[in-house]
Amino acid sequence: MAPDERASQLSRLGLLDSCAVSDALDSLGLPPAVTGLTPLSAPKRIAGPVVTVKLGPGAPAGGSARHLGTAAIEAANAGDIIVLEHSSGVECAGWGGVLSVGAQVAGVEGIIIDGPARDIDEARELGFPVYARSATARTARGRVYEQDFDCPVTIGDVVVAPGDIALADASGVVFIPREHLAEVVRRAERIAERERLMVKALRNGDPITEVVGRDYEEMLDDF
């Protein structure tokens, strides 16, 4: 995909919600939205290419050469989203306030972490979006470390590769394989338009049983 076309697709994606995109992924037989990841700080929809980080329990032999998340921030381009796998079950934060500041300065759209994060008040003051499973004040120090970055990660039940596309809002988080971006956007736009027409029909007085029965069950057909 040419850079201009990709930019156009990302711009169109940013106008959609996670529900329409999840339905579009369903229609293609791709993994739909990851549930349970919620906005803890700024209630802002984010969409963009991902930079990935994989965390693991304990500490590496000989200590860690860098603080978790810092390499991803330095590697990110403006508009990217940092995505962290932190599903080891260790109750500690995989993201914090200093990282939020550094990411915001680098132009990162926000972070998605499959696990806990901390310094949420600070992220709210910054207006920096943090999507996570939960909040905690427990430090990562001595509990988890960065195993790798710019590598495949698993978020919920979805495998996410570097350069894939994420969209997150209050309803959920979706990941789009980069090779399917154009088709997912096309289908999601069509789904959103069908829903708009359903709402218009309801406001015009059509019975909800007729509108939903007529259109909703066939929402993902005829692409």
At 89-115, the pLDDT tens digits run 889 999 999 999 999 999 999 999 999
Residue among 76, 118, 80 at smallest CA distance from 100: 118
Look up residue 155 and give its two tokens: 């978020």
Residue 222 lies in a domain: no
Q: Indicate if the pLDDT at residue 145 is higher than 90.
A: yes
Residue among 111, 91, 112 at smallest CA distance from 102: 111
Q: Indicate if the pLDDT at residue 210 is higher than 70.
A: yes
Q: What pLDDT score does 200 carry?
A: 92
For the chain, the maximum distance between any two Cα atoms, rounded to a whole number of angstroms, is 69
Q: What pLDDT score does 30 carry?
A: 98
Q: What pLDDT score does 107 carry?
A: 98
User: In this predicted model, what pLDDT tens digit does every residue of 152-175 receive, in sequence order?
Assistant: 999 999 999 999 999 999 999 999
**Average pLDDT over the chain, rounded to an integer:** 93
Q: Where are the beta strands (DSSP E) in 36-178?
A: 38-39, 46-57, 81-85, 110-117, 130-135, 144-149, 153-155, 158-160, 165-169, 172-176
State the Cα angle at 44 between 167 and 14, rounded to 5°. Answer: 40
Residue 102 lies in a domain: yes
User: In this predicted model, what pLDDT tens digit does every residue of 54-90 receive, in sequence order?
Assistant: 999 988 776 666 789 999 999 999 999 999 999 878 8
Residue 212 lies in a domain: no
Q: Which residues contact 55 (CB under 8 A, 6 or more apart)?
A: 68, 84, 85, 86, 88, 94, 115, 140, 144, 145, 146, 147
Q: Indicate if the pLDDT at residue 219 is higher than 70.
A: no
Residue positions counted in the chain = 223
Are the CB atoms for 182 and 9 separated by under 8 Å? yes
Q: What pLDDT score does 96 carry?
A: 97
Beta bridge partners of 145: 56
Q: What pLDDT score does 19 carry?
A: 97
Residue 91 lies in a domain: yes
Look up residue 94 and give its two tokens: 């995989």
Residue 171 lies in a domain: yes
Q: What pLDDT score does 37 carry?
A: 97
Q: What pLDDT score does 43 carry?
A: 86
User: In this predicted model, what pLDDT tens digit does every residue of 176-195 receive, in sequence order?
Assistant: 999 999 999 999 999 999 99
DSSP H helices, 84-180, are: 97-105, 120-126
Q: What pLDDT score does 61 carry?
A: 72
**How much is the CA Rg of the chain, to the nearest whole Å?**
19
Q: What pLDDT score does 6 carry?
A: 86
> What's phi and psi for 42, nearest 5 deg?
-70, 125
Domain hosting 127: range is: 31-176
Q: Model confidence at 53, in pLDDT bands (50, 70, 90)?
A: very high
Residue 200 lies in a domain: no
Amino acid in the structure at residue 86: H
Residue 114 lies in a domain: yes
User: In this predicted model, what pLDDT tens digit does every residue of 5-35 receive, in sequence order?
Assistant: 889 999 999 999 999 999 999 999 999 999 9
Are the CB atoms for 28 and 57 separated by under 8 Å? no
Q: Indicate if the pLDDT at residue 222 is higher than 70.
A: no
Q: CATH code at 67?
A: 3.50.30.40
Residue 211 lies in a domain: no
- Structural domain count, the chain: 1
Q: What pLDDT score does 220 carry?
A: 59
